[in-house]
Amino acid sequence: MDKNVGNLVSCGTDGRIRIWNVICANKVNKWRLISKFKAVFRDCDGVLSMATDPRNIYLITGDTLGYVRVYDLEDYYSTYDSTPANSKKLQPAQYEQFPFLQLKESIDKNHSQHSKFQPDGGAELGYPAVLLNCFRAHIGPVLKVCYSDAKGFIVTATRKGQTRLWSVAGTYLGSLDTTENARDAHPISNTNRGRKNIPRDIRRAASPVTLH
């Protein structure tokens, strides 16, 4: 990243992510909107929360439908008026780390009516950041998302205080609600072997394979 260049990311109830390019040179600030893209399934949904990791590799968002999305921000518009490195093809290691990318074709069929899964990523301006993962974290709106750099996991929270922990790849790690942890625990047995350990409400509303 050019030391004189910064990126500002904003979101809103219109369901779009906006990325602004800012440069400070000779004590003069210049800025421009470099990309705007839809980051929700339905036109009535909005993006309520965002977070990045300390190295600005990931952009994590939470929306009104309960979905969490993880975008690749590494080297995204690294210089002023540049083309993003993320416009290149995904790397094999990313397919291994994020199962969502391998299942995207089947998810695409289920959500074919949503512009987010169109070939251009639903972009309305410029290049959208590469979507690495998308999963259902809550049934209600996700009001807060945070990234724990020490542990490498995502924390999500709702209006009712429901707080859950997820890996960046979308694996459910647990809840800060001990009652929910006990209720959703599944000891390994022949009857539930291979069953994905996910919250009960998500299990009722989403596929245990894709979390959609």
- Could you write out the DSSP letters of every residue in 42-86? STT--EEEEEE-TTS-EEEEEETTSEEEEEE-TTTT-STTPPPGG
- Going across the sheet that includes 130-136, the strands are 47-52, 58-63, 67-72, 130-136
What's the average model confidence in pLDDT over 8-32? 80
pLDDT at 205 over 80: no
Q: What are phi and psi of 172, to 5 degrees?
A: -75, 125
Task: Report residue 189's pLDDT band, with 50, 70 and 90 as the boundaries.
Answer: very low
- 10 or 105, which is more confident: 10
What pLDDT is stored for residue 115 in this prediction?
41
What pLDDT is stored for residue 138 in this prediction?
94
Least confident of 6-10, 52-56, 154-158, 171-175: 6-10
Contact 132, 104 (CB under 8 A): no
**Separation in Å, CA 29 to CA 21, 78, 106, 107, 170:** 10, 17, 45, 42, 38
Distance CA 101, CA 114 (A): 17
- 105 or 126, which is more confident: 126
Least confident of 122-126, 136-140, 160-164: 122-126
pLDDT averaged over every residue in the chain = 76
Q: Classify strands 58-63 and 144-148 as parallel, antiparallel or unpaired.
A: unpaired
Residue in 9, 196, 204 with CA at minimum distance from that of residue 103 = 196
E strand or H helix at 182: helix 178-184
Burial (CB count within 10 angstroms: exposed 0-12, middle 13-18, buried 19+), residue 201 = middle
Contact 18, 47 (CB under 8 A): no
